[in-house]
Structure 1
Amino acid sequence: MVPSWIVIGAVTFAIMIGSFFITPRDVKWFARLSRPRWLVFEPLIPIIWTVIFICGAASANFVWQKNPGSLITWVLMGLYLLLEIITIAYIPAMLRWRSLRVGEILGSVGVILGVLLTLSVLPISKLAALLLVPYLVWSPVGTYTTEELIQLNPQDA
């Protein structure tokens, strides 16, 4: 039997990598947008999200290990998966529709789902909940940044 951490890691990695194949080619639109002056960390964003997804996968593995195969565990795995898909969908959806508002909506949904997931896993594993804190900290930063982009580029909202 394949260890759960390998399965969870492989699913996380596949979704992350899969996003590169579904990202629309029209990144010129996003590249030409005005950025806030304080957005000096933009080159680090892929690294930051990679760390966050690793923490999320580790969190999911701790939850799975507490009660493998139970209905509640499967529901929580579905929530982890939904959170990753919503997070990964931010760039492709925003580019496809050339709409910063789409990104802001997906970011806001991700923040809410992240909070709900964290509160749901807290009674199961404090460590699993703690591993979701990077998402809870960073996701609102991304959503706020998108709102700032809307203010600087209202024609692209």
Structure 2
Amino acid sequence: MIRSWMVIGGVTLLVALASNFITPNDVKWFNRLQKPKWLTFIPAIPLIWTTVFICGAWSAYIVWEQSQGSQRKWWIMGFYLLLEVVTVAYNPLMLRLRSLKIGTIVGGTGAILSILLALAVWQVSGWASLLLLPYIIWSPIGTYTTWAIMRLNPDDA
């Protein structure tokens, strides 16, 4: 029997893998951009996003299990999926379009969606909502960082 955590983990992994649709030229473009001096945490970003995704999937699992038989469960699961799709679209969209402005917009959209999802989830489970805090905290930091890079590279906005 396929368990709910398997479905949620599998969907999370499949959607996250979609963010790998970038080319070496896309990465070269980003690497050549001028970065703020305070941007020293780039090596930690994969670990940060891994933590964010694990917490998000765990949150979704709690909501799934506590919403058995509820039609609202499907609406909330769709919201989790939307947030993940927006999140993983950041790199491919920004890098392929070579637009830091697009990156800032996508990042800001994710930040807003994460807050709305946490509010919706709070009615089902406080713990599930709290597990979205890493996203709520990190997303604005990443969005601000992209905006700061854009200000240093106006030709690549």
Tell me which interval the TM-score lies in, with the shorter structure as reference length: over 0.9
Q: How much has 1:69 moved relative to structure 2?
A: 4.8
Give the TM-score normalised by the residue count of structure 2: 0.96
Counterpart check, 1:23 vs 2:30? no
What residue in structure 1 maps to residue 65 of structure 2? Answer: 65
Counterpart check, 1:117 vs 2:124? no
Find the aligned partners of 1:113 and 1:69 in 2 and give their Cα distance. 25
Q: How much has 1:98 moved relative to structure 2?
A: 0.4
Decide whether aligned partners of structure 1 residues 12 and 143 sit closer, same or farther in structure 2, where only a CA change above 3 A counts. Answer: same
Q: How much has 1:68 moved relative to structure 2?
A: 2.6
Q: How much has 1:153 moved relative to structure 2?
A: 0.5
What residue in structure 2 maps to residue 108 of structure 1? Answer: 108
- Regions of 4+ moved over 4 Å: none
Pairs within 5 Å for 1:58-97: 58-97=58-97
Q: How much has 1:83 moved relative to structure 2?
A: 0.3
CA contact (8 A) 2:104 2:147 kept: yes
Find the aligned partners of 1:97 and 1:69 in 2 and give their Cα distance. 42
Could you report, residue by residue, the CA deviation over 1:84-137 in whole angstroms, capped at 9, with x for unpaired residues? 110110000001110000000001110110000000000110000000000000
* Cα RMSD, aligned residues only: 1.0
What residue in structure 2 maps to residue 14 of structure 1? Answer: 14
Tell me the secondary structure at the aligned position of residue 52 of structure 2.
helix
CA contact (8 A) 1:24 1:92 kept: no
Identity of aligned residues (%): 54
Could you report, residue by residue, the CA deviation over 1:19-58 in whole angstroms, capped at 9, with x for unpaired residues? 21x2244211111001111111101101100010000000
Find the aligned partners of 1:24 and 1:108 in 2 and give their Cα distance. 24
Give the TM-score normalised by the residue count of structure 1: 0.96
Decide whether aligned partners of structure 1 residues 77 and 153 sit closer, same or farther in structure 2, where only a CA change above 3 A counts. Answer: same
Aligned length: 156
**Amino acid paired to 1:34:** Q
Q: Which segments of 5 or more consecutive residues in structure 2 lack a partner in the other structure?
A: none
What residue in structure 2 maps to residue 145 of structure 1? Answer: 145
Tell me the secondary structure at the aligned position of residue 27 of structure 1.
helix
